[in-house]
Amino acid sequence: MPNKTERVVVTVSIDTECDHDINWARSKPLTFDSINEGLPNRLQPIYREIGVVPTYLLTVEVLEDDTCVNTLKTLQGDFEYGTHLHAGFIEPYKKYHEYAGVACSDFQCNDPEHIEYQKLENLSNLFTEKLGTKPTSFRAGRYGASSQSIRNLEKLGYLVDTSVTPRILWPEADGGVDFRTAPLQPYVPAMDDINKAAAVGARRIIEAPVTVKARPFRRNPHWFRPWFSDANTMKLIAHYHLKKFQDLPVVNLNMMFHSMEVIEQASPYPQTKADVDVFLSSMHEVLTWCQEEGFEFSGLTDLHSIYNPQG
């Protein structure tokens, strides 16, 4: 088959949250090094050097914190801001009013459709109140999104969701999410099934799945994600997508991680400054390689006009 790919577009989508502990509970006392040190001093210098346009998906507690909002408003370079929901931290039925030390495992898609809508609406309004624009990109906390979530996001004007992690089942007592059959490349999701592609133009919103590569005989795939994969593995994942989707005019590589992963002891991942340096150097290596290969970088929302121009 001739290679028809004309463009490779790299997106870097980052769940942007308060610092956490090694068990994924929110830090106690609540701290925001991941925002105030991580974004301006550890991530943006690398992205500005390479020309990456990251998308920072912001949680409730970040948008509620004045120092964080000031950091976001004064951040240098190109980037996009979107939203990221952990459902227990916003009305209606807000579960936690003190965030420090709290772990929240709720999947937003397990709420009734109108409750999930109101939570997303409140998060979106908070974003607009603090940053002055409307959010157009989103990821669900713990990837807990369903076709219901996509309908709600679409009603609120979102253009791109990036909650789908193909080849992965996320179990949960109240009902898990199962993305094992989801497409690997961006698609227009069917109204009643987040794992199915509808025709281009059938609706407005698109799904940009997190980039993975299945591993034979293993439950979980390789992720295009620093710390989970070293630089060579990330390049192999990229090559896999380029080959598998060589008949597509555009191929997307969507890296994901959390802002907390670039701060030592702010997530279950890097625990020392040396660990953080390993994380950042492997991210730097793979993104530099993308640049040298002639790939483009864009925010998530720019994928919309590529994958659903009429939608």
| Footprint of Zn ion (CB under 5 A) | 15, 141
Judged by CB, which is closer to Zn ion: 167, or 258?
A: 258
For residue 139, the minimal CB distance to Zn ion (Å) is 8
Among 255, 6, 24, smallest CA distance to 141 is for: 24
For residue 291, the minimal CB distance to Zn ion (Å) is 28
For residue 262, the minimal CB distance to Zn ion (Å) is 15
For residue 57, the minimal CB distance to Zn ion (Å) is 8
Q: Do the Cβ atoms of 147 and 161 come closer than 8 Å?
A: no
Give the torsion sign (CA, 20, 257, 159, 155): negative
Burial class (CB in 10 A: 0-12, 13-18, 19+), 58: buried
For residue 258, the minimal CB distance to Zn ion (Å) is 7
Residues 31, 224, 234: CA angle, nearest 5 degrees: 120
Judged by CB, which is closer to Zn ion: 108, or 185?
A: 108
For 53, other C-beta atoms within 10 Å of its C-beta total 18
Judged by CB, which is closer to Zn ion: 141, or 166?
A: 141
299: left (phi over 0), alpha (psi -120 to 50) or beta: beta
Judged by CB, which is closer to Zn ion: 15, or 111?
A: 15
Judged by CB, which is closer to Zn ion: 265, or 267?
A: 267
For 181, other C-beta atoms within 10 Å of its C-beta total 10
